[in-house]
Amino acid sequence: MKSPTIYDVANRAGVSISTVSLALNHPQRVSAASRQRVLAAVDALGFQPKSESVSRARRGVGRVGVIAAFTNYSSFHARLDGILEGAAEHRSPVEVVLFDHPKSAGSADPLVDTVPVKGQVDGLIVMGAPVTESAAQRIGDLQMPCVLVDSGTLDPRFPTVEVDDYRGGVLAAEHLLTRGMERFIFLGEAQGSEQYVSQSQLRFQGFSQELARCGFPIPDTQVALIAHTVDEARRAVEGLLMTVAVPFGLFAHSDVLAAGAIRAVGDRGLLPGRDVAVVGYDDSELAEALDLTSVRQPLRESGRVAVRLLLDELQQEETTAVRNVQLKVSLVPRGSTVGTETA
Protein backbone atom coordinates (compact mmCIF):
# COMPACT_ATOMS: atom_id res chain seq x y z
CA MET A 1 0.00 0.00 0.00
CA LYS A 2 1.35 3.39 -0.99
CA SER A 3 2.40 5.60 1.92
CA PRO A 4 0.49 8.88 2.23
CA THR A 5 2.28 12.02 1.06
CA ILE A 6 2.18 15.66 2.05
CA TYR A 7 -0.14 16.20 -0.94
CA ASP A 8 -2.63 13.74 0.57
CA VAL A 9 -2.48 15.56 3.91
CA ALA A 10 -3.12 18.90 2.18
CA ASN A 11 -6.11 17.53 0.26
CA ARG A 12 -7.69 15.94 3.34
CA ALA A 13 -7.15 19.03 5.51
CA GLY A 14 -8.40 21.36 2.77
CA VAL A 15 -5.26 23.52 2.89
CA SER A 16 -2.27 24.19 0.67
CA ILE A 17 0.93 22.16 0.76
CA SER A 18 2.78 25.20 2.10
CA THR A 19 0.30 25.41 5.00
CA VAL A 20 0.98 21.75 5.83
CA SER A 21 4.72 22.42 5.78
CA LEU A 22 4.35 25.50 7.98
CA ALA A 23 2.03 23.71 10.41
CA LEU A 24 4.58 20.92 10.91
CA ASN A 25 7.81 22.90 10.80
CA HIS A 26 6.85 26.45 11.84
CA PRO A 27 3.58 26.09 13.79
CA GLN A 28 3.68 29.68 15.05
CA ARG A 29 3.08 30.89 11.50
CA VAL A 30 -0.35 29.29 11.06
CA SER A 31 -3.57 29.62 12.98
CA ALA A 32 -4.47 27.09 15.66
CA ALA A 33 -7.46 25.97 13.57
CA SER A 34 -5.32 25.26 10.49
CA ARG A 35 -2.76 23.44 12.59
CA GLN A 36 -5.43 21.22 14.11
CA ARG A 37 -6.85 20.37 10.67
CA VAL A 38 -3.39 19.37 9.47
CA LEU A 39 -2.74 17.25 12.55
CA ALA A 40 -6.11 15.54 12.20
CA ALA A 41 -5.28 14.69 8.59
CA VAL A 42 -1.83 13.42 9.61
CA ASP A 43 -3.44 11.11 12.18
CA ALA A 44 -6.20 9.89 9.88
CA LEU A 45 -3.83 9.10 7.01
CA GLY A 46 -0.96 7.79 9.08
CA PHE A 47 1.38 10.29 7.46
CA GLN A 48 4.87 10.02 8.92
CA PRO A 49 6.86 13.27 8.82
CA LYS A 50 9.80 13.81 11.14
CA SER A 51 8.65 13.00 14.65
CA GLU A 52 10.09 16.28 15.94
CA SER A 53 7.96 18.23 13.51
CA VAL A 54 4.75 16.56 14.68
CA SER A 55 5.74 17.06 18.31
CA ARG A 56 6.35 20.75 17.77
CA ALA A 57 3.11 21.15 15.87
CA ARG A 58 1.07 19.46 18.62
CA ARG A 59 2.61 21.73 21.23
CA GLY A 60 2.31 24.84 19.04
CA VAL A 61 5.99 25.51 19.66
CA GLY A 62 7.90 28.11 17.67
CA ARG A 63 11.64 28.56 17.55
CA VAL A 64 13.35 31.92 17.93
CA GLY A 65 16.99 32.20 16.90
CA VAL A 66 19.18 34.73 18.71
CA ILE A 67 22.48 35.92 17.20
CA ALA A 68 24.87 37.75 19.55
CA ALA A 69 28.47 37.83 20.75
CA PHE A 70 27.65 35.88 23.91
CA THR A 71 31.20 34.68 24.57
CA ASN A 72 32.69 38.19 24.37
CA TYR A 73 30.14 40.49 25.99
CA SER A 74 28.35 39.92 29.28
CA SER A 75 25.79 42.58 28.32
CA PHE A 76 24.27 40.10 25.88
CA HIS A 77 23.74 37.63 28.72
CA ALA A 78 21.50 40.19 30.43
CA ARG A 79 19.64 40.81 27.17
CA LEU A 80 19.19 37.05 26.77
CA ASP A 81 17.64 36.89 30.24
CA GLY A 82 15.06 39.39 29.02
CA ILE A 83 14.38 37.33 25.88
CA LEU A 84 13.88 34.17 27.92
CA GLU A 85 11.57 35.96 30.34
CA GLY A 86 9.51 37.37 27.49
CA ALA A 87 9.34 33.99 25.74
CA ALA A 88 8.26 32.25 28.96
CA GLU A 89 5.39 34.71 29.40
CA HIS A 90 4.05 34.15 25.87
CA ARG A 91 0.76 32.28 25.64
CA SER A 92 2.25 29.64 23.32
CA PRO A 93 5.48 27.72 24.04
CA VAL A 94 8.59 29.23 22.45
CA GLU A 95 12.01 27.64 22.08
CA VAL A 96 15.07 29.93 22.02
CA VAL A 97 18.08 28.81 19.98
CA LEU A 98 21.40 30.64 20.44
CA PHE A 99 24.00 31.38 17.76
CA ASP A 100 27.23 32.87 19.07
CA HIS A 101 28.72 35.65 16.97
CA PRO A 102 32.43 36.05 17.82
CA LYS A 103 32.78 39.80 17.37
CA SER A 104 30.23 42.53 17.95
CA ALA A 105 32.11 44.96 15.69
CA GLY A 106 31.74 42.66 12.70
CA SER A 107 28.86 41.70 10.43
CA ALA A 108 26.33 38.98 11.30
CA ASP A 109 26.30 37.74 7.68
CA PRO A 110 28.12 34.40 8.20
CA LEU A 111 25.64 33.25 10.83
CA VAL A 112 22.61 34.57 8.98
CA ASP A 113 23.66 32.43 6.02
CA THR A 114 23.77 29.24 8.09
CA VAL A 115 20.94 29.71 10.59
CA PRO A 116 18.28 27.80 8.58
CA VAL A 117 20.60 24.80 8.31
CA LYS A 118 21.61 24.87 11.96
CA GLY A 119 18.38 25.70 13.70
CA GLN A 120 15.24 25.64 11.50
CA VAL A 121 14.14 28.79 13.31
CA ASP A 122 10.91 30.69 12.71
CA GLY A 123 12.38 34.12 13.38
CA LEU A 124 15.59 35.87 14.33
CA ILE A 125 16.76 38.38 16.90
CA VAL A 126 20.13 39.89 15.92
CA MET A 127 21.86 41.70 18.78
CA GLY A 128 24.83 44.05 18.50
CA ALA A 129 25.82 43.09 14.95
CA PRO A 130 24.90 44.91 11.74
CA VAL A 131 22.81 43.21 9.08
CA THR A 132 24.20 44.12 5.68
CA GLU A 133 22.16 44.30 2.50
CA SER A 134 23.14 40.76 1.48
CA ALA A 135 22.06 39.38 4.85
CA ALA A 136 18.82 41.36 4.73
CA GLN A 137 18.05 39.90 1.33
CA ARG A 138 18.81 36.42 2.63
CA ILE A 139 16.37 36.90 5.52
CA GLY A 140 13.80 38.26 3.09
CA ASP A 141 14.21 35.26 0.76
CA LEU A 142 13.57 32.96 3.72
CA GLN A 143 10.49 35.00 4.66
CA MET A 144 11.87 35.00 8.18
CA PRO A 145 10.72 37.73 10.60
CA CYS A 146 13.71 39.45 12.19
CA VAL A 147 14.22 42.04 14.94
CA LEU A 148 17.45 44.03 15.26
CA VAL A 149 18.71 45.02 18.72
CA ASP A 150 21.47 47.64 18.93
CA SER A 151 22.74 46.63 15.52
CA GLY A 152 23.67 50.13 14.38
CA THR A 153 21.14 50.14 11.55
CA LEU A 154 17.57 51.40 11.20
CA ASP A 155 16.24 49.29 8.34
CA PRO A 156 12.54 49.85 7.55
CA ARG A 157 12.23 46.14 6.71
CA PHE A 158 12.89 45.12 10.31
CA PRO A 159 11.60 46.17 13.72
CA THR A 160 14.42 47.55 15.85
CA VAL A 161 15.22 48.02 19.52
CA GLU A 162 17.90 50.61 20.21
CA VAL A 163 19.46 52.01 23.37
CA ASP A 164 20.20 55.75 23.26
CA ASP A 165 23.99 55.35 23.24
CA TYR A 166 24.54 58.93 22.11
CA ARG A 167 22.71 60.13 25.21
CA GLY A 168 24.85 57.80 27.31
CA GLY A 169 27.96 59.60 26.09
CA VAL A 170 26.40 62.96 26.89
CA LEU A 171 25.59 61.81 30.44
CA ALA A 172 29.19 60.68 30.97
CA ALA A 173 30.53 64.05 29.78
CA GLU A 174 28.09 66.02 31.93
CA HIS A 175 29.00 64.01 35.01
CA LEU A 176 32.75 64.35 34.53
CA LEU A 177 32.37 68.09 33.95
CA THR A 178 30.51 68.42 37.24
CA ARG A 179 33.52 66.80 38.90
CA GLY A 180 35.64 69.72 37.64
CA MET A 181 37.55 67.82 34.97
CA GLU A 182 39.27 69.75 32.17
CA ARG A 183 41.22 66.91 30.52
CA PHE A 184 39.58 63.77 29.16
CA ILE A 185 40.32 60.31 27.74
CA PHE A 186 37.99 58.02 25.82
CA LEU A 187 38.47 54.25 25.57
CA GLY A 188 36.47 52.77 22.71
CA GLU A 189 36.27 49.50 20.84
CA ALA A 190 38.15 49.14 17.56
CA GLN A 191 35.77 49.05 14.61
CA GLY A 192 35.58 45.90 12.47
CA SER A 193 33.80 47.64 9.61
CA GLU A 194 33.00 51.20 8.59
CA GLN A 195 29.71 50.18 6.96
CA TYR A 196 27.73 50.98 10.08
CA VAL A 197 27.81 53.12 13.23
CA SER A 198 28.70 51.06 16.29
CA GLN A 199 27.63 51.55 19.90
CA SER A 200 31.17 52.69 20.69
CA GLN A 201 31.04 55.35 18.00
CA LEU A 202 27.67 56.64 19.18
CA ARG A 203 28.87 56.85 22.78
CA PHE A 204 31.97 58.73 21.69
CA GLN A 205 29.93 61.13 19.56
CA GLY A 206 27.75 62.06 22.51
CA PHE A 207 30.75 62.34 24.82
CA SER A 208 33.00 64.39 22.53
CA GLN A 209 30.28 66.69 21.21
CA GLU A 210 29.07 67.57 24.70
CA LEU A 211 32.65 68.28 25.80
CA ALA A 212 33.25 70.45 22.75
CA ARG A 213 29.99 72.32 23.35
CA CYS A 214 31.26 73.14 26.84
CA GLY A 215 34.66 74.30 25.56
CA PHE A 216 36.69 71.13 26.14
CA PRO A 217 37.32 69.41 22.79
CA ILE A 218 39.02 66.05 23.23
CA PRO A 219 42.21 65.61 21.13
CA ASP A 220 42.60 62.54 18.92
CA THR A 221 45.71 61.65 20.92
CA GLN A 222 43.49 61.08 23.96
CA VAL A 223 41.19 58.63 22.20
CA ALA A 224 42.17 54.93 22.20
CA LEU A 225 40.26 52.38 20.08
CA ILE A 226 41.23 48.91 21.23
CA ALA A 227 40.14 45.28 21.50
CA HIS A 228 37.46 44.60 24.09
CA THR A 229 39.64 43.18 26.89
CA VAL A 230 40.84 44.31 30.30
CA ASP A 231 44.49 43.85 29.29
CA GLU A 232 44.15 46.00 26.16
CA ALA A 233 42.53 48.78 28.17
CA ARG A 234 45.22 48.56 30.82
CA ARG A 235 48.02 48.88 28.27
CA ALA A 236 46.30 51.77 26.49
CA VAL A 237 45.86 53.76 29.70
CA GLU A 238 49.42 53.02 30.80
CA GLY A 239 50.59 54.78 27.63
CA LEU A 240 48.17 57.68 28.00
CA LEU A 241 49.25 58.28 31.59
CA MET A 242 52.67 59.21 30.20
CA THR A 243 51.21 62.19 28.33
CA VAL A 244 48.02 63.27 30.10
CA ALA A 245 48.41 65.06 33.43
CA VAL A 246 46.15 64.21 36.34
CA PRO A 247 43.50 64.87 37.32
CA PHE A 248 41.50 63.86 34.25
CA GLY A 249 38.21 62.22 33.40
CA LEU A 250 38.06 58.89 31.55
CA PHE A 251 35.01 57.46 29.82
CA ALA A 252 35.13 53.83 28.69
CA HIS A 253 32.88 52.15 26.14
CA SER A 254 32.16 49.35 28.64
CA ASP A 255 32.70 48.36 32.26
CA VAL A 256 35.27 45.82 31.03
CA LEU A 257 37.44 48.55 29.50
CA ALA A 258 36.90 50.73 32.56
CA ALA A 259 38.20 47.88 34.73
CA GLY A 260 41.43 47.84 32.73
CA ALA A 261 41.73 51.60 33.14
CA ILE A 262 41.29 51.34 36.91
CA ARG A 263 44.00 48.68 37.03
CA ALA A 264 46.43 50.92 35.11
CA VAL A 265 45.65 53.88 37.35
CA GLY A 266 46.29 51.78 40.45
CA ASP A 267 49.57 50.47 39.04
CA ARG A 268 50.80 54.08 38.90
CA GLY A 269 49.89 54.66 42.54
CA LEU A 270 46.97 56.88 41.55
CA LEU A 271 43.51 56.65 43.07
CA PRO A 272 40.28 56.40 41.06
CA GLY A 273 37.89 58.94 42.49
CA ARG A 274 40.73 61.25 43.53
CA ASP A 275 43.31 61.50 40.73
CA VAL A 276 41.26 60.06 37.86
CA ALA A 277 37.48 60.04 37.46
CA VAL A 278 36.42 56.86 35.63
CA VAL A 279 33.02 56.24 34.03
CA GLY A 280 32.10 52.88 32.49
CA TYR A 281 29.10 51.67 30.54
CA ASP A 282 26.49 48.91 31.16
CA ASP A 283 26.22 49.16 34.96
CA SER A 284 27.11 45.48 35.18
CA GLU A 285 27.94 43.41 38.25
CA LEU A 286 31.56 44.32 37.55
CA ALA A 287 30.72 48.02 37.98
CA GLU A 288 29.14 47.36 41.36
CA ALA A 289 32.10 45.23 42.49
CA LEU A 290 34.62 47.92 41.47
CA ASP A 291 32.57 50.81 42.87
CA LEU A 292 32.57 52.12 39.30
CA THR A 293 30.38 54.95 38.10
CA SER A 294 28.62 53.60 35.02
CA VAL A 295 25.96 54.42 32.46
CA ARG A 296 23.08 52.00 32.96
CA GLN A 297 21.37 50.69 29.88
CA PRO A 298 18.12 48.66 30.11
CA LEU A 299 19.59 45.38 28.92
CA ARG A 300 16.90 42.98 30.14
CA GLU A 301 14.16 45.30 28.93
CA SER A 302 15.71 45.41 25.45
CA GLY A 303 15.52 41.61 25.28
CA ARG A 304 11.91 41.53 26.46
CA VAL A 305 10.88 44.18 23.94
CA ALA A 306 12.71 42.40 21.12
CA VAL A 307 11.06 39.02 21.67
CA ARG A 308 7.64 40.67 22.01
CA LEU A 309 8.09 42.44 18.67
CA LEU A 310 9.29 39.23 17.02
CA LEU A 311 6.41 37.09 18.31
CA ASP A 312 3.96 39.72 17.10
CA GLU A 313 5.61 39.57 13.68
CA LEU A 314 5.47 35.77 13.67
CA GLN A 315 1.77 35.73 14.47
CA GLN A 316 1.08 38.72 12.23
CA GLU A 317 -0.61 40.47 15.14
CA GLU A 318 -1.43 44.16 15.00
CA THR A 319 -1.18 44.65 18.76
CA THR A 320 1.14 47.61 18.32
CA ALA A 321 2.06 49.93 15.50
CA VAL A 322 5.48 50.55 17.05
CA ARG A 323 8.31 48.96 15.09
CA ASN A 324 11.24 51.07 16.28
CA VAL A 325 11.79 51.32 20.03
CA GLN A 326 14.47 53.47 21.65
CA LEU A 327 15.19 52.84 25.33
CA LYS A 328 16.59 55.44 27.71
CA VAL A 329 19.83 55.31 29.71
CA SER A 330 20.80 56.75 33.10
CA LEU A 331 24.02 57.32 35.01
CA VAL A 332 24.76 55.56 38.31
CA PRO A 333 27.41 57.50 40.31
CA ARG A 334 29.83 55.53 42.50
CA GLY A 335 33.24 55.94 44.09
CA SER A 336 35.28 56.02 40.89
CA THR A 337 34.20 59.63 40.30
CA VAL A 338 33.75 60.82 43.87
CA GLY A 339 36.19 63.35 45.31
CA THR A 340 37.80 64.38 42.02
CA GLU A 341 36.65 68.01 42.03
CA THR A 342 39.49 70.36 41.19
CA ALA A 343 40.05 73.64 42.96
Q: What is the pLDDT of residue 340?
A: 53
Q: How far apart are the first and last CA of the chain?
A: 94
Q: What is the pLDDT of residue 319?
A: 44
Q: pLDDT tens digits, residue range 189-225?
A: 998 767 678 899 999 999 999 999 999 999 999 999 9
Count each helix (H run) and each strand (E run) in the chain, helices first: 13, 12
| pTM of the entire predicted model | 0.78
Q: What is the pLDDT of residue 329?
A: 97
Peptide bond into 247 cis (omega under 30): yes
Q: pLDDT tens digits, residue range 98-109?
A: 888 765 455 556
3-state secondary structure 247-262: CEEEEECCHHHHHHHH
Q: pLDDT tens digits, residue range 63-100?
A: 888 988 887 888 889 999 999 999 988 877 788 888 88
What is the chain's alpha carbon radius of gyration, rounded to the nearest angstrom? Answer: 25
Mean pLDDT of the chain: 85
pLDDT along the chain (343 residues), means of 10: 80 87 75 84 79 60 82 87 91 83 59 59 85 79 84 80 96 97 96 78 97 97 95 97 95 97 96 95 95 96 94 66 85 87 46
Domains of the chain: 6-59 (1.10.260), 62-163+298-327 (3.40.50.2300), 165-297+330-337 (3.40.50.2300)
